[in-house]
């Protein structure tokens, strides 16, 4: 039985490494320090049509509202970075997919690993110990706790950044009643760099460290259910699902290690689907082609909406080149 928080914390981190996580940090279950900022961000309409973000405010900002008696938050990071496959010209108009959705649904992968951690921990802690797994869909702002747990700072593009891993990693958390020794918060290393802000096609960053999600290509292609405003359609370019632009230009991603998690291996040799194929999908095709993929976050009509925009952008580009 583990007694000292410091020793138990070391054990937790060993378990995290053994199940395959790249990083593990620990923080207290106190509320985030930027709850007022988050409230103002929502009130300012920055969440666009993501009405669900307005719900469960207390749970998103205070782990103790998620789990009664919570004392600690264990935060883990799992890299999904991998090189972009060489795309041979094949005559098809293709839509790019954000790297995180190339392989198996990360929700499933992280939950599986976090559950393994908890299962192994239960034999070493009091039976009364409680745990709550959080992987994106749970109402907890994981990156805030990741920064406080030393996993990585929140960059100017509002993503968690780590000096070695870059930003191509998933975050997961375990809220627990265990008393653990907290880590020191991460230090911001963005400096004077503004590459991510300058490269954003839709100018979704009103200022450093603040995103207007209603202008973000990831939001527009994945979360926005209605037609995409015309002003943003040219900037969508060939993004079918999500966007990696602000990550692609980040200096910390230049040497990011390739993931060793086989579940994130691209489901297809070419993770950029043909837009004509997507436009031809039936409901059955959609379910079959995207079974086990995070891409199912976007409904069929949304993917086909995105595919139409990509096709129109391609036709416009060819027309301009012919002039």
Which residue in this structure is represented by tokens 């970075």? 81
User: What 8-state DSSP symbol labels residue 162?
Assistant: B
The number of residues making up the chain comes to: 323
Contact between 111 and 135 (Cβ < 8 Å): yes
SS3 6: helix
DSSP codes of every residue in 173-237? EEEESS--PPPPPPPP--TT--HHHHH-TT---SBTTB--GGG-HHIIIII--SPPPGGGHHHHT
Burial (CB < 10 A; 0-12, 13-18, 19+), residue 139, is: middle
- Determine which one of 36, 62, 124, 136 is catalytic: 136
136 is catalytic: yes
Residue numbers annotated as active site: 136
């Amino acid at each position: 039985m583990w007694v000292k928080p410091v020793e138990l914390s070391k054990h937790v981190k060993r378990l995290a490494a053994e199940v395959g996580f790249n990083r593990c940090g620990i923080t207290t279950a106190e509320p985030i320090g930027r709850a007022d900022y988050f409230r103002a961000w929502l009130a300012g309409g920055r969440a666009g049509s993501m009405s669900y973000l307005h719900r469960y405010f207390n749970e998103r900002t205070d782990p103790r509202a998620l789990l009664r008696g919570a004392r600690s938050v264990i935060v883990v990071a799992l890299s999904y970075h991998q090189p972009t496959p060489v795309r041979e010209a094949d005559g098809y108009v293709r839509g790019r997919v954000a790297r995180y959705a190339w392989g198996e649904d990360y929700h499933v992968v992280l939950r599986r690993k976090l559950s393994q951690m908890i299962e192994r921990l239960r034999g070493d802690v009091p039976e009364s110990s409680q745990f709550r797994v959080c992987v994106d869909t749970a109402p907890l702002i994981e990156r805030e706790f990741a920064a406080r747990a030393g996993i990585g700072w929140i960059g100017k593009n509002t993503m968690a950044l780590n000096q070695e891993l870059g930003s191509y990693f998933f975050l997961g958390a375990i809220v627990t009643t265990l008393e653990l020794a907290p880590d020191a918060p991460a230090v911001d290393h963005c400096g004077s760099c503004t590459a991510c802000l300058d490269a954003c096609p839709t100018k979704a960053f009103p200022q450093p460290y603040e995103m207007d999600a209603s202008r973000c290509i990831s939001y527009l292609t994945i979360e926005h259910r209605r037609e995409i405003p015309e002003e943003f359609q040219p900037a969508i370019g060939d993004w079918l699902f999500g966007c990696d632009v602000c990550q692609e230009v980040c200096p910390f991603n230049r040497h990011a290690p390739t993931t060793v998690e086989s579940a994130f291996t691209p489901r297809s040799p070419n993770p950029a689907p043909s837009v004509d194929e997507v436009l031809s999908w039936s409901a059955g095709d959609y379910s079959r082609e995207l079974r086990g993929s995070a891409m199912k976050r976007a409904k069929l009509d949304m993917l086909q909406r995105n595919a139409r925009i990509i096709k129109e952008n391609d036709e416009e580009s060819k027309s301009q080149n012919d002039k």
